[in-house]
Amino acid sequence: MQESEKREVVITGIGVVSPIGTGKENFCESLYEGKSGIDFITLFDASQFPTKFAGEAEGFDPETLLKGMDILRQTKDRRILLANGAARLAVDDVGLSIEEFSRGKCAAVMGSGVHPVIPEMEKIISSGIYSDMFDDPDPDPRKFEMACEREGSGENPFYPVFNRVNCGVLSIAYQHKISGPCYSVVSACAAATQAIGLSYQLIQRGESDIVLSGGYDSMIFNFGVYAFCLLELMSIHNDDPKKAVKPFDKKRDGFALGEGAGVLILEEKERAKKRGAKIYAKIAGYGSSVDAYKVTDPHPEGKGAVIAMEEALHDAKMEPSQIDYVNAHGTATPKNDRIETMAIKEVFGKHAYNIPVSSTKSMIGHLMAAGGALELIATVLGMDNGFIPPTINYGNPDPDCDLDYVPNKARDVNIRTALSNSFGLGGQNASIIVSREG
């Protein structure tokens, strides 16, 4: 397809489940207030870990949010329920019926984390539920199908493992009768941003007219917290969790894990305009790269991050001077914040000092595979409501991080074009540019 033939893509629906609120209104209000969603972990006993706090989803009640949906009886998996909660909110926001989704050229593309399958496998081995099937020389496949329907009643520990990584996006497609492309992107902290970028390209090429896209994740379980403690990437300021995450601050010592889901409805622009849809923003450009350096460290010169941002600008046919705001990856780790600052200055030159840069992670924590979706939503809601989300807990300038980080308070300003970064473990990088319509 020629460049001139590529279709324009807009955002027409938003669904949020986050540590600072469920629903776009609550999320937006908390962003403006600079609210921290970080507190001591309640989902399990974390008292023996070096980091005892995280950002648990606030106001998330699956029994209420997903009332009447089959997913409630199909699984108790928290991640899948988070994903479906955000999807339902996004579908309600866009104002399309399930029949309209099922009739159109619709797709679902979600970023997902690696699910904690080991505990479920242990349950299977110890339960003996399927021993008769495994021992039967001529097993009846209907027994397996029937077993997969019993998980909601607690009788079947196997269902959460089946197609585990893509269960979230599959369940969303099933609940909303979406029969087009259905993809799960697993690329660590860049997963949601890459999922949204791929969705944007599906619509550009004419393969889909509307896509449910975003990401979901929760690493707030025993092994998840333990693993990141071993990597020494998380803050250990247990005396005051709400002030622990300090992106770009000289005293930063790491992030807090967060959990949640963000789903955006992407739609072909003319289709959206024809039906009178609210348009939050236009997806203007997307870029992706890999450092090809180390699994646990970003490239010391930020080369992959530079490529992703430059590719997004090239795709958008924009000059660096046209970007009004950058929502940074901003993990509050000593290396990431310094290297991301370096990469921004490499891409934007002198203009970097004129661009507000902030980290939503200071409020919601690091949501891993869901992070890019929530951070892009924060950017879009800020654009739609005339403010830039702040970097809270900022008080000690770092000479190596010398940009405008919108410290502590939201900034009332109208921005037309913004870039959102997601840089993941393993060197996965993705950047998306959004612009206001009209």
Tell me whether residue 351 is one of the annotated catalytic residues: no
Tell me whether residue 329 is one of the annotated catalytic residues: yes
Structural tokens at position 245 = 């995450």
Q: How far apart are CA 412 and CA 226, in angstroms?
A: 39
Instruction: Pick the catalytic residue from 189, 229, 237, 401.
Output: 189
Least Cα distance to 433 among 11, 1, 24, 3 occurs for 11
Instruction: Pick the catalytic residue from 115, 176, 299, 329.
Output: 329
Instruction: Pick the catalytic residue from 115, 176, 299, 366.
Output: 366
Tell me whether residue 299 is one of the annotated catalytic residues: no
Q: How far apart are CA 151 and CA 156, in angstroms?
A: 4
- Catalytically active residues are 189, 329, 366
